[in-house]
Structure formats: C-alpha cells, structure tokens
C-alpha cells in the first residue's frame, strides 16, 4: 500500500494573503507543516502542491518536494487531486491513500496523521476520514473560523457547520463541542470521484467541503485525537501558535539544520 501526504498551499487568500510564507519562530508556516509531516512513518512521501513559484522554491530549498499546479483551483481538494496524478507519474506507481494536510496546521504531528490514516488502511470501504478534537472554550465553539462537527454513535459525521452545533440554547449548556482538524485522508479513487461531484447547497452555505460528501449520501469517518493543536486562520493566530510551539517536543528535531529568517 502506498500512502502520500499532499499539502496544498497558495499565496492568494482573501482572509490572510501570503499565509503559507508567514513566519513562525523565523520559519515559514508551510515549512513547519512539511517538516513535521515528513516525520510520519505512515507516509511514503510528502509533497507541497502550489501554484506559486515562491513556495515551490522554498520547499525545494529545505530539501522537500513541490509540485506545481494550476492557479485556477478554488478548493484544496482540487489542487490535491492534480498533485496526486503528477506524484503518481513521478513515483511510477499508483497511490492507494492520499492525505490532504492543510498548510495552516503548523502543529500537526506524525501521530495525528497516522491515526487519521488508520481507518482507511484497515478498511477500504471507508472512503474518507477527518480528525476531530474536543473544544474547551465557548468562545472557540462560537468562532466561525472553527469548523464544528456532530457525529453518530459509530463515529461518522452527521453534519459540519461553522455555527455552534449542537445547540447550547435548548435545555442544557453542557453539550459535546467537537471541531474538525483538517488532516483528511482519501482513498485514491474517491478523491478523484469527489472532485467530479458538483458543489452542494449545504457545502456552499456552510463553506465546508465535507458536507458535499454527506449530501451525496456517503460517509465521513471521524477520528478523535487528544493532541492539542492550533490552526492559523488569521494573522493574530501566529502569536498563539508560537507560544505553544516553544514548548513543543518536535520543534528541536526539525529546526536543527534548517535556516530560519
């Protein structure tokens, strides 16, 4: 079985332009994501998929692999699918599982990726999985930058929303608050199938790609992680991530030998 990780990254962003190259402790954010993902022994290879030469040049400068993609992609999954096919051409073989690792998860760990991949590796009828974790603060639960999820008794997603779900206003304030973490393994063929599906109404309303799968009557396996992580959605998040990275066990392992600004 061949499993690869692909990190889609682009400089153009309405909320946070140049986000992949934003410095965290002197290193571009995409560098943190790439080097930490490379530590995962469940991945045979890791690539950064980008339409920006600046990002590609940086990844190559730190010894990584970058794949140039079209600049017309609107969704990370589309960029990942194009990169998948180009990676297969380079590898000379077909990939079984492709893990979409969002470039704004600079605290991703090898264990997180491995646990997300496990359900697909053990059962090829599971088409896609997502990581999730509990939320400790009501403020985060109500933040539209955080994607919330509710799950069924078997751990499959029922719905994704940027609104706080389930409701805290109907009888009890003690509800399970779960958020999506954007480490998303796909069975290879399903990623290509998914990108052929038309966008769906709830996907558009919520601005959450995974709802397209649910609206087509298919399942998304959710995998709980206890590992604390912080995504970067807006520039203010950089300082919060830096504070946590200073206490991070992986940081010394990959900063050593890499030039920072």
Fold that domain 3-230+239-255 belongs to in CATH: Spore Coat Polysaccharide Biosynthesis Protein SpsA; Chain A (3.90.550)
Return the pLDDT at 171: 60
- Angstrom CA distances, 75 to 9, 47, 210, 259, stand at 11, 17, 12, 31
Mean pLDDT by 10 residues, the chain (261 residues): 96 84 94 96 97 96 96 91 96 96 93 97 97 91 93 97 88 83 96 95 96 98 91 88 92 76 48
Q: CB-based contacts of 139: which residues, under 8 Å, 6+ apart?
A: none
Return the pLDDT at 255: 82
Q: Are strands 66-68 and 45-50 parallel, antiparallel or unpaired?
A: parallel
Q: Tokens in use for 247?
A: 């206490």
- Dihedral sign computed on CA atoms, order 70, 215, 208, 38: negative
CA dist., res. 76 & res. 73, Å (int): 7
Are the beta carbons of 83 and 67 closer than 8 angstroms? yes
Q: Are strands 178-181 and 129-134 parallel, antiparallel or unpaired?
A: antiparallel
Q: What is the pTM of this model?
A: 0.92
Phi and psi at residue 246, in whole multiples of 5°?
-60, -20
- Angstrom CA distances, 192 to 107, 121, 130, stand at 28, 18, 17
- Dihedral sign computed on CA atoms, order 127, 104, 251, 51: positive
Return the pLDDT at 174: 81
Q: Tokens in use for 94?
A: 């077909």
Residue ranges of domains in the chain: 3-230+239-255
């Amino acid at each position: 079985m061949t499993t690869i990780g692909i990190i889609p990254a682009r400089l153009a962003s309405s909320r946070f332009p140049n986000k992949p190259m934003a410095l965290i402790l002197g290193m571009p954010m995409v560098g943190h994501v790439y080097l930490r993902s490379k530590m995962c022994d469940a991945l045979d290879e890791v690539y950064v998929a980008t339409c920006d030469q600046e990002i590609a040049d940086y990844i190559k400068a730190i010894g990584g692999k970058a794949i140039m993609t079209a600049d017309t992609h609107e969704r990370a999954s589309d960029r990942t699918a194009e990169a998948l096919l180009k990676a297969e051409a380079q590898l000379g073989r077909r990939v079984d599982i492709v893990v979409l690792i969002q470039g704004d998860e600079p605290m991703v760990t090898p264990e997180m990726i491995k646990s997300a991949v496990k359900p697909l590796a053990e059962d090829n009828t599971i088409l896609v999985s997502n990581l999730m974790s509990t939320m400790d603060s009501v403020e985060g639960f109500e933040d539209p930058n955080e994607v919330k999820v509710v799950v069924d008794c078997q751990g499959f997603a029922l719905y994704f929303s940027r609104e706080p779900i389930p409701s805290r206003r109907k009888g009890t304030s003690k509800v399970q608050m779960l958020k999506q973490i954007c480490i998303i393994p796909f069975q290879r063929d399903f990623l290509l199938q998914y990108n052929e599906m038309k966008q769906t109404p709830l996907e558009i309303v919520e601005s959450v790609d995974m709802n397209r799968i649910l609206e087509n009557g298919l399942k998304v396996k959710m995998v709980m992680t206890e590992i604390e992580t912080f995504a970067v959605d807006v520039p203010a998040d950089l300082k919060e991530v830096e504070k946590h990275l200073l206490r991070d066990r992986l940081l010394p392992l990959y900063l050593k030998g890499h030039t920072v600004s």
